[in-house]
Structure 1
Amino acid sequence: MLNRRYFLSATVAVLAMSATAAHADDWKSKYKELTFAVIPAENASGVSDRYAPFMDYLSKELGVPVKLRIANDYAAVIEGQRAGNIQIAYYGPASYSTAYMTGVKLEPFVTTRNHDGSVGYYSVIYVKADSPYKDIHDLKGKTIGFVDPNSTSGYNAPRFFLHKIGLDADSFFGKSVITGSHENGVIALDKGTVDCAADWWNSDTDSNLTRMVNKGMVKKEDFRVIFKSGLLAGSPYAYLSDLPPELKQAIQKAFVEAPTKDKAAFDRLSDGKDLEFVPVTHKDYETTVEMIQFVNDMRKKRS
């Protein structure tokens, strides 16, 4: 009798587990594949090389193909999620905030922790190392390279933090140029197209500049930081709000476990400079939303 009861209990448990597993995979009938998009922090080939191993890892963990979409600009990622064509996206805090403020139904779920334990990064303004400029005030009337109106470190943060020290970007600089990507901004500065360029910076050994140096594109000693912002919120990964709860849970789980399950793919995302993924919610970006609203209001007053 004991063996029969045990057999029945075990059978019920197995059936329950099977039913739960089947329910958890129900989303696969709707989502035969998922699309993952990244804002253009670097050129297209750089994005592809950096994210390809991670796409393979996500495809394996989720059980459906995850395809990388390389966007031409920040707006393309925002509009792709608005249309429901991009299920997962990597944003900067500003582009995420813009998407949220303009009605895109999305939820941030993770960002990265830096190797020093901090979460977040900075906006800096670079000049050429051999330039005569010693202080940000020396750049009055000069040309600045901004990345994209939806970039945090490359547009919104420098405007916001310059305003905090009494400098209005539009009247202070003689001209501004939209470079389209962080790499393009550094290249424009290197070639003399602009006198200074806004960019992102985690530390002296982890920045867009150091990544370009690692790829042999520029020399680190040719540039120096002349202005640095306050700490910004970490760049979020966000999925569509209307994705099935089981799919959201599976995506977040895959991200959080990536440093353990596929360290090589995880390390490739940041050249080994990030420690782990950490959960975030919209609340972590409320201050960024306020910053973007402030910058938008400033722009409207001048239009």
Structure 2
Amino acid sequence: MITRRLVLGAVASLTLAGAAEAQDWKSKYPELVYAIIPSENASGVTDRYGPFVSYLSKELGTKVTLRIANDYAAVIEGQRSGNIHVASYGPSSYARAFTTGAKIEPFAIETNLDGTKGYHSVLWVKTASPYKKIEDLKGKNLCLVDPNSTSGNNVPRFAMSKMGIVPEQFFGKVVYAGSHENAVLGVQQGTCDAAFNWWNDESESNLLRMSRKNMVKAEDFRVIFKSEQIVNSPMAYLSDLPAELKARLKEAVLDLPKKEPEIFKKITDGKAGPWESVEHKAYEPIIELNTFVDSLRKKS
């Protein structure tokens, strides 16, 4: 016979077990490290994401620290070694981390204001330049972003391969700028004649973000190439984190836009929709893209 005392006892046991589990992961993880691949300078990353990690600390009840990485590889290696618990990636850098042994799971994807989940790679040149298409840049200098950048390297290399262009042979010089901002600045300063970069739509791109920060004037640049749509960027945590911690992390991230709209607006400049849940299969085409680009490197 099931009595009220037995039921209450079972509920109490479950409650105590849940509390013990929470206490256990908090003692094991007194600090969590969040990192993001570099798309802007260090002060910009701190300004944009500082309030976000403070929000995570409050929601999780444990300290969350922002780590500013020097390059994409540092984020990948940080998760592979287990030193970075949560990271915001580009699609190709997530795929690279996954295929090189990082035990990670994507759990949130960026969305656009219209609800779509994709962006593009574009090639910027100066507005006053004579270049109308990629073929016009033969012998000129090209700025890419990072070997693990989707819109700043892998998609451009895939597109140029279809055109029969081997960048290191076609251009006078190919420069890895290190970040999307640096690539645009390379064109502004004359180091490069063109630069690949991310572009969501006419209302948002890295160039427009830089323009809002008074780093460049958007009207000084124009697009001469735009790729097909690329799946948006993911956030990923270590697979071996405790289940409750992962659940609370995901809940905190997905709830941010409605709980703390100003913090979310700080990250996105009000130019993006809320994060949504995502799974690894969304990035399987990007793994194939990386494999193709790797094969191009081996041939060259």
TM interval, shorter chain, is over 0.9
Match of 2:139 in 1: 141
Contact 1:94 1:156 in 2 (8 A): yes
CA distance in structure 2 between the aligned counterparts of 1:247 and 1:154, rounded to whole angstroms: 33
Q: Of residues 282, 288, 291 in structure 1, which corresponds to 2:289? A: 291
Contact 1:161 1:230 in 2 (8 A): no
Unaligned runs of 5+ in 1: none
1:248 positional shift: 1.0
1:196-211 correspondence to structure 2 within 5 Å: 196-211=194-209
1:140 is aligned with what amino acid?
K
CA distance in structure 1 between the aligned counterparts of 2:227 and 2:287, rounded to whole angstroms: 17
Match of 1:230 in 2: 228
Deviation track 1:63-109 (CA, whole Å, cap 9, x = no partner) reads 10110000001111111111111000111111111111111111111
Match of 1:212 in 2: 210
1:149 positional shift: 0.5
2:265 is aligned with what amino acid?
D
Q: Of residues 172, 175, 178 in structure 1, which corresponds to 2:176? A: 178
Deviation track 1:104-140 (CA, whole Å, cap 9, x = no partner) reads 1111111111001110211111000010111221111
Residue 30 of structure 2 aligns to a residue in which SS? coil
Contact 1:110 1:252 in 2 (8 A): yes
Residue 48 of structure 2 aligns to a residue in which SS? helix
Q: Of residues 118, 124, 134 in structure 1, which corresponds to 2:122? A: 124
How many residue pairs are counted as aligned between the two chains?
298
1:86 is aligned with what amino acid?
I
Q: Of residues 189, 192, 210 in structure 2, which corresponds to 1:191? A: 189
Match of 2:102 in 1: 104
Unaligned runs of 5+ in 2: none
Decide which moves more: 184-193 or 18-27.
Answer: 18-27
CA distance in structure 2 between the aligned counterparts of 1:170 and 1:253, rounded to whole angstroms: 45
Decide which moves more: 194-203 or 14-23.
Answer: 14-23
Match of 1:51 in 2: 49
CA distance in structure 1 between the aligned counterparts of 2:122 and 2:90, rounded to whole angstroms: 15
1:167 positional shift: 2.6
2:110 is aligned with what amino acid?
T
Residue 70 of structure 2 aligns to a residue in which SS? coil
1:11 positional shift: 6.4
Q: What's the TM-score, normalizing by structure 1?
A: 0.94
Match of 2:277 in 1: 279
Match of 2:154 in 1: 156
Change in Cα spacing, 1:253 to 1:25, as seen in structure 2 (3 Å) is farther
CA distance in structure 1 between the aligned counterparts of 2:265 and 2:164, rounded to whole angstroms: 40
2:34 is aligned with what amino acid?
F
1:269 positional shift: 1.1
CA distance in structure 2 between the aligned counterparts of 1:103 and 1:19, rounded to whole angstroms: 33
Contact 1:25 1:246 in 2 (8 A): no
The percentage of aligned residue pairs carrying the same residue is 55
Decide which moves more: 283-292 or 20-29.
Answer: 20-29
1:234 positional shift: 1.0
1:19 is aligned with what amino acid?
A
Q: Of residues 28, 41, 45 in structure 2, which corresponds to 1:30? A: 28
1:280 positional shift: 1.3
1:117 is aligned with what amino acid?
G
1:290 is aligned with what amino acid?
E
1:195 is aligned with what amino acid?
D
Residue 110 of structure 2 aligns to a residue in which SS? strand
1:10 positional shift: 5.2
Match of 2:219 in 1: 221
